[in-house]
C-alpha cells in the first residue's frame, strides 16, 4: 500500500510540473489517503504483535 501511495505522489508531482492541476490534486489526495491507511495498519500490526508477546521486529 505504501508503494501505491508513493506512485500517486510521484504522479502528482509530475502532473503538477506539467500544469495538470486537477490530476495533480486528485493524485495527491489519493496518495495522502493511502499513506494514512498504511500508517494505521502499521500501528495495528505492531500492537497485535505486542499483545501476542512477540518482539516488534
Q: Where are the domains of the chain?
A: 2-51
- pLDDT band for 56, please (50, 70, 90 cuts): low
d(CA 31, CA 34): 5
Within 19-57, residue ranges assigned H as helices are 21-51
Residue 36 per-residue DSSP state: H
Give per-residue pLDDT as tens, 11-55.
888 887 877 778 777 888 888 888 889 889 888 988 888 898 877
pLDDT, position 46: 86
- pLDDT band for 57, please (50, 70, 90 cuts): low
Has residue 7 got a pLDDT over 70? yes
pTM score, whole prediction = 0.64
Amino acid at each position: 500500500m505504501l508503494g501505491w501511495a508513493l506512485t500517486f505522489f510521484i504522479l502528482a508531482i509530475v502532473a503538477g510540473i506539467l500544469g495538470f492541476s486537477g490530476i495533480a490534486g486528485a493524485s495527491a489526495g489519493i496518495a495522502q489517503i493511502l499513506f494514512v491507511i498504511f500508517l494505521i495498519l502499521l500501528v495495528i500490526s505492531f500492537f497485535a504483535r505486542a499483545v501476542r508477546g512477540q518482539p516488534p521486529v
